[in-house]
Amino acid sequence: MRRFVADKAKTLINRSRTTCSSSFPPPIITSTSVLQRLTSSSSSSSQSPAVLRFLSTSSDSMSSDYSSTPVTLNNVNPKVLKCEYAVRGEIVNLAQKLQQDLKENPGSHPFDEILYCNIGNPQSLAQQPITFFREVLALCDHPLILDKSETQGLFSADSIERAFQILDQIPGRATGAYSHSQGIKGLRDTIASGIEARDGFPADPNDIFLTDGASPAVHMMMQLLIGSENDGILCPIPQYPLYSASIALHGGTLVPYYLDEETGWGLEVSELENQLKTAKSKGINVRALAVINPGNPTGQVLAEANQREIVEFCKKEGLVLLADEVYQENVYVPEKQFHSFKKVARSMGFGEKDISLVSFQSVSKGFYGECGKRGGYMEVTGFSPEIREQIYKVASVNLCSNISGQILASLVMSPPKVGDESYESFAAEKEGILSSLARRAKTLEDAFSNLEGVTCNKAEGAMYLFPRINLPDKAIKAAEEAKIAPDAFYARHLLNATGIVVVPGSGFGQRPGTWHFRCTILPQEEKIPAIVSRLTEFHKLFMDEFRG
Amino acid sequence: MRRFVADKAKTLINRSRTTCSSSFPPPIITSTSVLQRLTSSSSSSSQSPAVLRFLSTSSDSMSSDYSSTPVTLNNVNPKVLKCEYAVRGEIVNLAQKLQQDLKENPGSHPFDEILYCNIGNPQSLAQQPITFFREVLALCDHPLILDKSETQGLFSADSIERAFQILDQIPGRATGAYSHSQGIKGLRDTIASGIEARDGFPADPNDIFLTDGASPAVHMMMQLLIGSENDGILCPIPQYPLYSASIALHGGTLVPYYLDEETGWGLEVSELENQLKTAKSKGINVRALAVINPGNPTGQVLAEANQREIVEFCKKEGLVLLADEVYQENVYVPEKQFHSFKKVARSMGFGEKDISLVSFQSVSKGFYGECGKRGGYMEVTGFSPEIREQIYKVASVNLCSNISGQILASLVMSPPKVGDESYESFAAEKEGILSSLARRAKTLEDAFSNLEGVTCNKAEGAMYLFPRINLPDKAIKAAEEAKIAPDAFYARHLLNATGIVVVPGSGFGQRPGTWHFRCTILPQEEKIPAIVSRLTEFHKLFMDEFRG
């Protein structure tokens, strides 16, 4: 594996996809206003990165003479136009340009590499995969070698044993066949056992829907719940923009609730109540509450007492609780612990028929960070048989999720145990990654907190920090003149001066008049000191220039 | 691999998912009628297989007291209710019951196994994966072993070399990282080269969007094109029900055109013109024409001259041509050849800006049949930069397709070449599968054609036969009394008598008053004679009983 080190990481992250959007829809996003803005700005949108990509690479699309083709911005599905995904932001576009500059003219900028702190994609930043997981996946991909003597020398004994077990769970041992639409039953059994071990409450394999990462599961639930723009989903602000994008694509209304930065991005039930009331007064039928715990982009871990209040609120208001729990293994502070919402609800005495709850999990996060494998699942509880039939039908239309992702989801929920041959190396890999992430998080948190006019949340969990910058008036005015959001203005200056790529808070939403940026804790540990010193130096110069 | 033979295939296919639907929406499906029918029959729908599955396995869902949960058939997204997917049909439900019977009481039925001829899932019926493809996938999953000496003994030299090449194409060699939203650029280069070699016309890697199988690509295009129920998509009848399902989920209108059974399921442009005119007169804005070639469920391969007419029609009428070409490697008769619609359009002189064309391809079909890997791509040509930006944005919301599926899609389009170490064994595996499929297709075609009152299309391509049964009046009357479609009545009798599972034509649509069933050509070759003799015997008895 030493042959496969990070020398190319830069080119991958060059294409990283979670970036900035310079505008964020206002509270209770009305489809029309966003649509009007998008359609009316269609001429300027031809300058966006995706278009530039096409223009720069597809020779005959240089001309705009597509006048005889039938699909235009005037007749494309307006919900698609409405959808915003903080993916094609100026900042990453600029970073890609600078990277190209550095390649063509080394020394052309005051830094020699671009440091991508904008996306939760650990293996693109040279994090190595967990060996045991990859051994099992390789053996399941090519079971012909399982019986060969050479295999004993290449693979751990327990990975061989696990591959046999998994193949036994797959009908006909056919890893190349469509599975049951919810995923292979034996793998769902394993996942349900993992959930039981985690929560101390029963889990039913028939409640598990294996999906290609968590995103399709979120879409599936939005598709079920949203029939028209009168259907609303309560979403945190700031939020991971999958939620706003999915709600827009399904034609619903995002009902925002603000996390309270003063209390470490706390989730106040009074805020939920107020926003629900406001939405109802506007005729919105609020269907569900989305909660991201640990938080993205905010990195907080909810306290159990707070989770109980949230469960009570959903129960009382008849809302489906959509629990994004993909960062459940990313908790970095001893005083906080992850509790699944299902565990919390069951411990309050709420059973299957008392509360509708969907938990999303993914193999992309945790300490394994297997983003490219597209594995994940949702655990669906508290829906009537008739509704579960509808969920099953929607899942069936795409046949099934990919089998390697299904296998990996089962491995993540049932890793090697004490006594297994791989246990010690597995535990060392896991501990190495998680402790390094915790150190990186703390170092960056301290560095941000030491900057003039910056306050930074505690790095409790997930993979991000979301510091707030109190920008001087002069900087805000300069941003206005440059026609970009003040935090995008700051991020652009930061990139130009240091090569560090962060995502402006406006891509996630934030209280009006406050400015933030999201920075991952994922760069290689040895690069963190350089990041801190460059950032500190830049910030001082920026403030000196704009303090006014 | 001999350890992994077909002893469990039966349990997988027990869960197979392409089955029957006893009703098919009438021409120009109006949302309301289907919706009303579905919602008004919600009480009976609780008897459908998916619900039975939940009821039989989830202990506490036996009671129907979900009255305090918020999601009901009255407030779920009506588009989801409207969606029909021939997935949960009675026939497969019955087959699963019979299989359980046979397990618990061997000898309880006049057959000793269920023969699943209902789904295009080759590896579930013991078709073995192509060795070279699986070697490369395993090495890419666990690159740590690439340098080890034991690996030389386990893997072919060219699979090791190919794995190195592919890893070099992946930024940072990170097979666990999110890729570019369209898929890894190097793999798209390989696929574009494969398309060029196939067609003799240039292909641009920036036109390729790698997807988790072909289904998500079809959804993506429907999402783009359908803004409301006024947007219509011309679809063949009979059709693979992904199209009707996707159109329903996106809230559009399916505009049917009938394939002409008399001319071997020919596609008549006059029929397209008539249906387009009718749709327009009803205020439907027809956006696209979907063509499945080779056909599913009909198995025909379009003649090039016919394809030229279709291209002309789309050009003249301003329609996007959605070309489902997933069976491009499944052609079994020497007089027919697959031609991609892009090749046909380009050979007519239509360039990038003259016609909007999307070609769908999948790793699930062909001779490789890697359904579980969920790999595929669409090649998108003839869309303006502004619209391509929208497609890119929709692709981005789900981050990327799974990397193993991406790698496999590149392998399928660039298999081993003469001189490569694997070439001979690869060619033998490929030829073995394709020639066996051709023999099976011909044997089944002949058998069906020999049955009283049955005519069968020529098995030109794809994986299916779609014979027509001229059912006696007495059988039709008996079906009416049993309240099921006559072809479902026949399929049910067939299953009960022989254990053979086929899909009634009503699951795909057919001309009113005609009756068919779809039968795959996939059962293991040694089982075909038994299938033929059982089927022949059954049919004679059935006709004797109902001839009247």
Residue B298 clears pLDDT 60, i.e. is over it: yes
For residue A150, the surrounding DSSP H or E stretch is: helix A149-154
In A293-434, beta strands by DSSP E: 320-324, 357-362, 376-381
For residue A445, give the DSSP letter: H
Residue A399 clears pLDDT 60, i.e. is over it: yes
pLDDT average, residue stretch B426-436 = 96
Closest approach of chain A CAs to the CA of B546, in angstroms? 35
For residue B360, the surrounding DSSP H or E stretch is: strand B357-362
In A279-386, beta strands by DSSP E: 285-292, 320-324, 357-362, 376-381
CA distance A115 to A530: 10
pTM comes to 0.88
Q: Do A397 and B8 touch (CB under 8 A)?
A: no
User: What's the pLDDT at A447?
Assistant: 95
CA angle B213, B215, B221 (to 5 degrees): 120
CA distance B548 to B541: 12
Q: Do A356 and B64 touch (CB under 8 A)?
A: no
Closest approach of chain B CAs to the CA of A163, in angstroms? 12
Q: Pairing relation of β-strands A500-501 and A320-324?
A: unpaired
For residue B491, give the DSSP letter: H
pLDDT band for position B118 (cuts 50, 70, 90):
confident
Query: What phi and psi, each to the nearest 5 degrees, are found at residue A279?
Result: -65, -45
Of A85, A134, A215, the CB nearest to B393: A85
Asked if A178 and B17 count as a contact pair (C-beta separation under 8 A), the reply is yes
Number of C-beta neighbours around residue A421 at 10 A = 16
Tell me the β-bridge partners of B361: B377
User: What's the pLDDT at A64?
Assistant: 65
User: What's the pLDDT at B86?
Assistant: 64
| B131: Cα within 13 Å, side-chain hemisphere | 17
Q: What are B523's two structure tokens?
A: 């059962």
User: What's the pLDDT at B89?
Assistant: 62
CA A110 to chain CA mean position, Å:
31
Q: Do B50 and A213 touch (CB under 8 A)?
A: no
Q: Do B12 and A404 touch (CB under 8 A)?
A: no
Asked if B372 and B16 count as a contact pair (C-beta separation under 8 A), the reply is no
User: What's the pLDDT at B548?
Assistant: 67
User: What's the pLDDT at A547?
Assistant: 85
Tell me the β-bridge partners of A362: A376
pLDDT band for position A354 (cuts 50, 70, 90):
very high
Query: What phi and psi, each to the nearest 5 degrees, are found at residue A441?
Result: -60, -45
Residue A85 clears pLDDT 70, i.e. is over it: yes
Q: Which amino acid is at B179?
A: S
SS3 B517: strand
pLDDT average, residue stretch A50-66 = 45
User: What's the pLDDT at B41?
Assistant: 33
User: What's the pLDDT at B70?
Assistant: 93
Contacting residues of B for A53, CB less than 8 Å apart: 206, 392
Residue B450 clears pLDDT 70, i.e. is over it: yes
Residue B290 clears pLDDT 70, i.e. is over it: yes
User: What's the pLDDT at A41?
Assistant: 33
Number of C-beta neighbours around residue B57 at 10 A = 13
Of A126, A179, A364, the CB nearest to B372: A179
Q: Do B402 and A405 touch (CB under 8 A)?
A: yes
pLDDT band for position A89 (cuts 50, 70, 90):
low
User: What's the pLDDT at A442?
Assistant: 94
Asked if A491 and A476 count as a contact pair (C-beta separation under 8 A), the reply is no
Q: Do B287 and A60 touch (CB under 8 A)?
A: no
Contacting residues of A for B178, CB less than 8 Å apart: 16-17, 119, 121, 124, 364, 371-372
CA distance B154 to A148: 8
Give the count of Cβ contacts less than 8 A between chain A and B.
Answer: 478
Comparing A88-102, A158-172, A207-221, B80-94, the range with the smallest average pLDDT is: B80-94
pLDDT average, residue stretch B325-354 = 96
Per-position b or e across A464-488, b if 16+ CB within 10 A of its CB: bbbbbbebbeebbebbeeeebbbbb
Of B12, B85, B246, the CB nearest to A172: B12
Residue A210 clears pLDDT 50, i.e. is over it: yes
Contacting residues of B for A387, CB less than 8 Å apart: 66, 71-73, 76
User: What's the pLDDT at A91?
Assistant: 82
Per-position b or e across B485-510, b if 16+ CB within 10 A of its CB: bbbbbbbbbbbebbbbbbbbbbbbbb
Of A8, A88, A382, the CB nearest to B69: A382
Q: Do A138 and B141 touch (CB under 8 A)?
A: yes
User: What's the pLDDT at B3?
Assistant: 37
Residue A139 clears pLDDT 90, i.e. is over it: yes
For residue A481, the surrounding DSSP H or E stretch is: helix A473-481
Of A77, A206, A223, the CB nearest to B225: A77
Residue B313 clears pLDDT 60, i.e. is over it: yes
pLDDT average, residue stretch B267-289 = 97
Residue in chain A lying closest to B46 (CA): A386
pLDDT tens for each residue of B368-407:
999 999 999 999 999 999 999 999 989 988 889 999 999 9
pLDDT band for position A299 (cuts 50, 70, 90):
very high
Tell me the β-bridge partners of A501: A116
pLDDT average, residue stretch B24-38 = 36
User: What's the pLDDT at A8?
Assistant: 35
Higher model confidence: residue B490 or residue A124? B490
- Average predicted confidence (pLDDT) for chain B: 87
pLDDT band for position A95 (cuts 50, 70, 90):
confident
Residue in chain A lying closest to B135 (CA): A142
Q: Pairing relation of β-strands A115-116 and A500-501?
A: parallel
* 3-class SS shares of chain B: helix, strand, coil, % to 5: 50, 10, 40
Contacting residues of A for B11, CB less than 8 Å apart: 171-172
Say which residue the tokens 């009316």 belong to: A40
Query: What phi and psi, each to the nearest 5 degrees, are found at residue A359?
Result: -110, 130
In B265-354, beta strands by DSSP E: 285-292, 320-324
Closest approach of chain B CAs to the CA of A352, in angstroms? 8
pLDDT average, residue stretch A146-175 = 94
For residue B310, give the DSSP letter: H
User: What's the pLDDT at A86?
Assistant: 64
CA angle B317, B323, B327 (to 5 degrees): 155
SS3 B211: strand
Q: Which amino acid is at B498?
A: T
User: What's the pLDDT at A9?
Assistant: 32
User: What's the pLDDT at B50?
Assistant: 35
Residue B46 clears pLDDT 60, i.e. is over it: no
Residue B19 clears pLDDT 60, i.e. is over it: no
Residue B210 clears pLDDT 70, i.e. is over it: yes
Q: Do B72 and A148 touch (CB under 8 A)?
A: no
Of B9, B54, B148, the CB nearest to A388: B54
pLDDT band for position B85 (cuts 50, 70, 90):
confident
Comparing A32-36, A62-66, A172-176, A236-240, the range with the smallest average pLDDT is: A32-36
Residue B28 clears pLDDT 50, i.e. is over it: no
User: What's the pLDDT at B64?
Assistant: 65
Q: How far apart are the first and last CA of chain A?
A: 52
Cα–Cα distances in angstroms (integers) from residue A365 to residues A84, A123, A376, in the given order? 23, 10, 10
In chain B, % of residues over pLDDT 70: 87
pLDDT average, residue stretch B107-124 = 89
User: What's the pLDDT at B537?
Assistant: 95
Contacting residues of B for A373, CB less than 8 Å apart: 176, 402-404
Sheet containing strand B464-465, strands side by side: B464-465, B517-520, B503-504
Dihedral of CA atoms A199, A200, A205, A208 in degrees, nearest 10, equals -10
Q: Do B66 and A383 touch (CB under 8 A)?
A: yes
Q: Do A245 and B397 touch (CB under 8 A)?
A: yes
Residue A24 clears pLDDT 90, i.e. is over it: no
